[in-house]
Amino acid sequence: MWQGLTERLQNLLSRWRGRGRISEEEAENWLRELRISLLEADVNLRVARQFVNQIRERVMTPEVMEHPNPFRRMTQIVYEELVKLLGEKPEPLQIASQPPTVFLLLGLQGSGKTTTCGKIAAMFKKQGKRPLLVAADLKRPAAIEQLEQVGAQVGVSVFTMRTNSPESLAQAALNHAKTNAHDLVLVDSAGRLHTDDELMDELRRLKFALRPHESLLVLDASTGQDAVRVAETFENEIGITGVILTKLDSDARGGAVLSVRAVTGKPVKLVGLGEHLSDLDVFHPDRMAARILGLGDVASLMERVESVVDEATARKMEERIAKGTFNLEDLLTQLRQMRQSGPLEQLLSFLPGFSGLGAPRLQIDERKLKRMEAIILSMTPEERRNPDIIDGSRKRRIARGSGTTVQEVNQLLRQFKAMRDTMKRLSKARLSDKDLMRLFGGF
Ligand code: GDP
Ligand code: MG
């Protein structure tokens, strides 16, 4: 998915590559094209206009118009504005302090409600919860059967009842959950092909009777602006707390993802990425923005980094970092590993569009690595383990021994210390996507 939008955005941004000062007219033309690209990706008209205005405000400043690397600066701005548009941070699902937590899933027929009920149940079951699925489609026996199949697949119970009253159903389902110690109730409501008054009335009553902690609207992302219109209707008629976008694995044009939050004011909380019950993810605005720009999925990149570095070595390093005993001997090991496999360059080649976007690639200078290695090899084991004892006379000896200069020895020690500090910080918190972007020289 995104193919079209990603390509258009990359083309638009590339225009600033290697460019000098940008004129106001050029920027204005560029912004117009940006707006057209968004509209072609089926982004809501108002959202596209607002987004472009936001970017205009940041671009039409001397800082950007006269930036030495306008390509990089513009990419950064578009990325940041995309993250903002998508909602900045993942929005967690509300869990009740007094169980059971109740989630009501709403949406048109075919949007993926029943499937998503199963996915959410599977996700929480893995976390040790005891979910109950509730079939609240009062009209279609087939819908109930489908939920029963999904329940059997996940291994959770399904509550069904023949009634015409949403109130009785809600009451009975909640009682059933309480007496059977279910701490999560997932209600699969009725859908229609289109929103109509009768459906809205039934869902409103169901919601009132259930008092759910989340009213989640399930939207088929591949339907673009239609999905956004449906979202507006549900938000106005019933009130929702969040959105679940399904079928992001299909060739959605991007319009629904980019518009739904701005139009409804409600966050996207989860995304469906396939038909399998494990194809559900928490929605990460920053990752989505990176994907839209073709920067690749930074989190999966991180997983690859971890798999490229020899595992045993990595674990040993981690321990040392955590203990704060990372020293020059470890750095030597790392330098050698980097020289052997060039993991970062190799990694970057995995990312479609990464080099295309011209984010400065990490240059691993073979010669420099060798000199660094030589410097460390000229140190005594004690100096390697405890670099703080390296004074002026030791530095001169090391420089002579390695055929380098005292400046180079100083530089290596400085780099090592900076590295040690960064590692200490990073060992406390897992890398954020922003850290990674910085680490890889992207932003
Ligand atoms: P409901 O009518 O809202 O309950 O929708 P269903 O759960 O029955 O889903 C309708 C169709 O969409 C089914 O064929 C599902 O397998 C499919 N589906 C649901 N979610 C996803 C998704 O995230 N990706 C893909 N590719 N298909 C999905
Ligand atoms: Mg269904």
pLDDT (tens digit per residue) in 194-204: 888 999 999 99
Pairing of strands 268-272, 280-282: antiparallel
The rounded mean pLDDT for the chain is 84
- What's the mean pLDDT in 400-427? 81
Residue type for 307, please? S
Which one is predicted more confidently, 396 or 360? Answer: 396
For ligand 1, whether the C-beta of 251 sits within 6 Å is: no
Residue that is last in its domain, among 243, 273, 292:
292
- What's the mean pLDDT in 110-130? 96
* Residues 327 and 427 both lie in one domain: yes
* Residues 309 and 370 both lie in one domain: yes
Domain-located, residue 94: no
For residue 390, give the CATH number of its domain. 1.10.260.30
* Residues 258 and 357 both lie in one domain: no
Domain-located, residue 428: yes
* Residues 216 and 113 both lie in one domain: yes
Q: What is the pLDDT of residue 113?
A: 96
Domain-located, residue 281: yes
Residue 62 has pLDDT above 80, yes or no: yes
Q: What is the pLDDT of residue 327?
A: 82
Domain-located, residue 91: no
Helix (H) or strand (E) holding 109: none
Enter the tokens of residue 5. Answer: 């939008």
Candidate from 41-45, 141-145, 282-286 with smallest mean pLDDT = 141-145
For ligand 1, whether the C-beta of 249 sits within 6 Å is: yes
Show the domain range for 63. 3-86
Residue 217 has pLDDT above 50, yes or no: yes
Q: Indicate which residue's Cα is closest to atom 6 of ligand 1.
A: 112
- What's the mean pLDDT in 340-345? 50
- What's the mean pLDDT in 422-436? 55
- What's the mean pLDDT in 93-101? 96
Residue that is last in its domain, among 86, 118, 147:
86
Helix axes 70-86, 285-292, angle to 10 degrees: 130
For ligand 1, whether the C-beta of 250 sits within 6 Å is: yes
Which one is predicted more confidently, 193 or 258? Answer: 258
For residue 7, give the CATH number of its domain. 1.20.120.140
* Residues 183 and 271 both lie in one domain: yes
* Residues 246 and 171 both lie in one domain: yes
Atom of ligand 1 nearest to the CA of 218: 3
Q: What is the pLDDT of residue 233?
A: 95
Is there a contact between 137 and 125 (Cβ–Cβ < 8 Å)?
no
* Residues 415 and 313 both lie in one domain: yes
Domain-located, residue 17: yes
For ligand 1, whether the C-beta of 222 sits within 6 Å is: no
| DSSP assigned state of 277 | T
With bands split at pLDDT 50, 70 and 90, how would you rate the model's confidence at 304? very low
Candidate from 279-288, 303-312, 386-395 with smallest mean pLDDT = 303-312
For ligand 1, whether the C-beta of 118 sits within 6 Å is: no
Q: How many residues does the chain have?
A: 443
With bands split at pLDDT 50, 70 and 90, how would you rate the model's confidence at 221? very high
CA distance 198 to 208: 16
Residue that is last in its domain, among 275, 292, 309:
292
Atom of ligand 1 nearest to the CA of 280: 23
Domain-located, residue 92: no
Q: What is the pLDDT of residue 348?
A: 46
Probe residue for ligand 1, chosen from 115, 137, 230 as the CB with the greatest number of ligand atoms within 8 Å: 115
Domain-located, residue 95: no
CA of 277 to the centre of ligand 2 (A): 14
With bands split at pLDDT 50, 70 and 90, how would you rate the model's confidence at 356? very low
CA distance 186 to 107: 14
- What's the mean pLDDT in 388-404? 93
Residue 52 has pLDDT above 50, yes or no: yes
* Residues 25 and 158 both lie in one domain: no
Distances (CA, A) of 110 to 190, 248, 252, 279: 11, 14, 16, 17
Number of domains in the chain: 3
For residue 198, give the CATH number of its domain. 3.40.50.300
* Residues 274 and 166 both lie in one domain: yes
* Residues 37 and 156 both lie in one domain: no
Q: Which residues pair with 215 in a beta bridge?
A: 104
Residue 307 has pLDDT above 80, yes or no: no
For ligand 1, whether the C-beta of 407 sits within 6 Å is: no
Q: Nearest-5° angle of CA 215, CA 220, CA 222?
A: 155
* Residues 176 and 247 both lie in one domain: yes
* Residues 309 and 275 both lie in one domain: no
Which one is predicted more confidently, 366 or 231? Answer: 231
Domain-located, residue 125: yes
- What's the mean pLDDT in 338-361? 43
CA distance 80 to 55: 10
- β-sheet with 131-136: strand ranges across: 157-159, 131-136, 184-189, 101-106, 214-220, 242-246, 268-272, 280-282
- Exposed/middle/buried for 426, CB within 10 Å: 0-12, 13-18, 19+? middle
